[in-house]
Amino acid sequence: MSFNIKEKISSRLRSNDEEVSSINSSEAKLDKFDELAEYNEKYPEPTAEDYATLPKVLGHAPYATYLICLVEFAERASYYGVKDRLNNFIQLRLPTGGNGAGAPPRGTQQNAGALGLGLQTASAITLLLTFLAYLTPLYGGYISDKKLGRMKTIWYGVWIGAISHIILIIAAIPSVIQGGHALAPTVISIICLAFGTGFIKPNLLPLLFDQYPHQRDIVETREDGKKVILGREATLERMTLVFYWAINIGAFMSLATSYSAKDVGFWLAYLIPGIVYIIMIPTLMLLSPRLKKETPNGISIIEETLKVIKFSLKGGWIKRLRTGQFWEFAKPSNIAARGEVQAVEAVNKKGKKKVSWTDQFVQDVKVTVDACKIFLFFVIYNINDGGIGGIQNSQANTMTTNGVPNDLINNFNPLTIIVLIPILDYGIYPILRKFKIEFRPVYRIFFGFILAALSSVAGAIIQWQVYETSPCGYHATDCEIGTGVSPISVWAETVLYILGASSECFANTAAYEIAYTRAPDNMKGLVMALFLFTTSISAAISEACTSALIDPYLVWPFVATAIAGVLAAFWFLWLYRDLHKVMEAERIAKEEKVREEYAEYLAEKGVNVKSSDSIDRIADQQTSIKEETDGLYAIGSALSHRN
């Protein structure tokens, strides 16, 4: 899931380079607190007495904004309705005695198929989709912030996605399949689908959040004179849960398309997602005039971050990395101190400074990169959680289905998440807190890694049993002897998806929580982008391993990923065993920094504060705004394996 979450109290960045460079100056601090003071007057902040006496209720965004969730449902439903059919479409050939559209004859153990290109090719092409679908959101977020704005970027994505669905429906026409012309349009469609997703994905949830007008809890006086507290955190949590439930409900479109492919053919399996996708167009047309839209400020955090990293990688960077001076090298103050005045003042062809960042921005990049190091372990985790390419789907194809589509079983992933999250939130975690058992984020990630590794262990055992019981022995993938399948029921495959989905409820949520808590406000969108990017890296590694997906060796990919997953889990636990202490120190430092900033603001205003209560209150408010959505996004991530 790439979401540019931006909590801004300070004044907007402007495109003028000098103003950008002064973002952390005292003037910017004054602007920030002037705006905050004006906001406090119009929307009073609850006092301790208010919290003790007034009811706390959900705030309200315009109801029309929840149609954004309908857009997300349509986009995800169409995406997974297509994606989950691709393995069979590419790997398996047209069934013997079928209708020529990909559907097998009834009463057989055959599954829907079309191109017959085998497991390796099918895995390579579907991994291409995964790689691009998790890489292009980086560009989608960049172009949205830099030039187009969220709404316009979403529209570009919608039209690109519409083209992809049209092309794929054409590829699934029986005459195209039978004529051997379906592969090229399929690949083109996959590329278009990935780019459409990349433009839509990073912008919908931020667009939804933009519609809520308050940056913290406020006291509201109702028409009857009663006062209530509008809770921002609870409101955004509700909005997020609705958004992610839309994702998971959309994912169940795969149920309809799996049976469509098996009973009718792939043309219907691809037509249904295309029809659902069309819902987005009139919905967005209806919504657009009613939405609050942010104007792009011409600045991309991702672009500026890459500039800092590129500059830091200049000659001698290995030595600087060892001595702890890697990031210090890129700070403008240090560049000037080294006598490189020309580097600081240099401009590009557009007349903008090449060194357009500040010392504080470099520090923010450093903190963010440090916070996101944990994501490197998710490269291995992602491979365990879903297997290499289409290996799990192919395994199901070699088992007894008795009329059940082999690619139906992966729906147990969103189903498990939908069931398990409430159990954890309202059952397991409260019980642990009651008995004062600290299930820290690091432990949750470790536990999630182990569950994912166990999923691969289960896959290895099932594959071994399939080989032992298949009519073709250790060449079960393309078996045509007898029924062509092992007598083992395809429902045994559910173990892999249940374990994988359960692991996400622990590992993904905790990773978001850690990274979002540690990252500076203006870097939270980058954190999400980096997390999603690990899926692209995992897909690239899997792509390189597709040559190993061949009989009689299909047990070993499961074994290898399981071993790598266990090793990564224990290495992670050893490296980050004391991370909670580091995070507590960082939290205290954040609060202290806000206190100092507010004290400076009061001093410049000539306000004499005899008590520190006011300063403490503002510090608590700022820290709350900074961290209030950490748990919120953790919940979201758990609900959004199919993100």
Answer whether 105's CB lies under 8 Å from 111's CB.
no
Q: Please indicate, yes or no, whether the overall pTM of this predicted structure exceeds 0.75.
A: yes
- Element (DSSP H or E) covering residue 219: strand 218-221
At 227 the three-state DSSP class reads strand
- Specify the higher pLDDT residue, 61 or 115: 115
DSSP state of 346: -
The closest alpha carbon to 561, from 577, 538, 530, 532, belongs to 538
- Does 538 or 44 have the greater pLDDT score? 538
Is the distance from CB of 220 to CB of 227 less than 8 angstroms? Answer: yes
How many angstroms separate the CA atoms of 113 and 93, rounded?
A: 5
- Determine the Cα–Cα distance for residues 308 and 306; give it in Å rounded to an integer: 5
The runs of H, that is alpha helices, within 490-629 are 494-518, 524-544, 555-575, 579-605, 613-627
**If 0-12 CB within 10 Å is exposed, 13-18 middle and 19+ buried, where does residue 534 land?**
buried
Map residue 615 onto helix, strand or coil: helix
Domain coordinates of the chain in residue numbers?
A: 50-293, 299-357
**Helices (runs of H) and strands (runs of E) counted in the chain:** 28, 5
Q: How far apart are CA 637 and CA 528, in angstroms?
A: 10
Q: Which two tokens stand for residue 381?
A: 């985790």
Average pLDDT estimate for 604-608:
66
- What end-to-end distance do the CA atoms of the chain give, in Å? 4
Task: For residue range 303-358, list pLDDT tens digits in order.
Answer: 888 889 999 998 889 999 998 899 999 998 888 888 776 666 766 666 677 788 88
Contact 534, 376 (CB under 8 A): yes
Do strands 227-231 and 56-58 pair parallel, antiparallel, or not at all (unpaired)?
parallel
422-433: average pLDDT: 87
Question: Does residue 443 register a pLDDT over 60?
Answer: yes
pLDDT tens digits, one per residue of 457-506: 999 999 999 999 999 999 999 999 999 999 999 999 999 999 999 999 89
Q: CB under 8 Å to 372, separation ≥6 — which residues?
A: 515, 519, 527, 530, 531
User: Can you tell me whether residue 184 is helix, strand or coil?
Assistant: helix
How open is the CA angle 202-204-206, to the nearest 5 degrees?
80
Is 265:103 a contact under the CB 8 Å cutoff?
yes
Instruction: Compute the distance between CA of residue 643 and CA of residue 641 in angstroms, rounded to an integer.
Output: 5
pLDDT, tens only, 29-58: 455 555 555 656 667 777 777 777 888 777
pLDDT at position 235: 74
Could you give the 3-state DSSP secondary structure of residue 214?
coil
Fold of 50-293: Growth Hormone; Chain: A; (1.20.1250)
Highest mean pLDDT among 209-213, 310-314, 485-489, 591-595: 485-489
Amino acid found at 465:
Q
| E strand or H helix that includes residue 220 | strand 218-221
Please state, in angstroms and rounded to a whole number, the distance separating the CA atoms of residues 378 and 637: 14
Taking a C-beta distance cutoff of 8 angstroms, is the pair 209, 194 a contact?
A: no
Cβ(262)–Cβ(111) below 8 Å: yes
Q: How many residues does the chain have?
A: 643
Min mean pLDDT across 56-70, 260-274, 417-431, 512-526 is at 512-526
Which position has the token pair 């949750």? 444
Question: How many other C-beta atoms are found inside a 10 Å radius of the C-beta of residue 629?
Answer: 22
Residue 220 sits at φ, ψ, to 5 deg, of -120, 135
Average pLDDT over residues 239-244: 77
Mean pLDDT of the chain: 83
Would you call the peptide bond into 552 cis, given omega within 30 degrees of 0 as the criterion?
A: yes
pLDDT digits 0-9 by tens, 367-389: 888 888 899 999 999 999 988 88
| Amino acid 1: pLDDT | 37
55, 228 in Cβ contact below 8 A? yes
Contact status, residue 218 vs residue 43, Cβ threshold 8 Å: yes
> Is the CB of residue 186 less than 8 Å from the CB of residue 164?
no
Q: Give the torsion sign (CA, 192, 194, 197, 203).
A: negative
Residue 47 Rama label (left phi>0; alpha psi -120 to 50; beta): beta
List, as own/partner pairs, every contact residues 348-353 make where C-beta atoms lie below 8 angstroms and the sequence separation is at least 24, other chains included. Answer: 352/17, 353/17, 353/21
Report the alpha-carbon distance of residue 53 to residue 313 in Å, rounded.
56
Phi/psi of residue 436, each to 5°?
A: 55, 40
Residue 624: per-residue pLDDT: 44
Q: Note the pLDDT of residue 461.
A: 97
What is the pLDDT, as a whole number, of residue 630?
Answer: 37
Q: Are strands 227-231 and 218-221 parallel, antiparallel or unpaired?
A: antiparallel
Mean pLDDT, rounded, for 387-394? 90
pLDDT tier at 135, thresholds 50, 70, 90: very high
Distance, in Å, from the CA atom of 424 to the CA atom of 78, rounded to the nearest integer, reads 30
Which residue's structure tokens are 């090449």?
354
Torsion over CA of 288, 292, 297 and 299, rounded to 10 degrees?
-80
The SS3 of residue 489 is strand
- 63-92 pLDDT, tens digit per residue, is 777 789 999 999 999 999 999 999 999 999
Q: Which residues pair with 56 in a beta bridge?
A: 229
pLDDT value of residue 343:
66
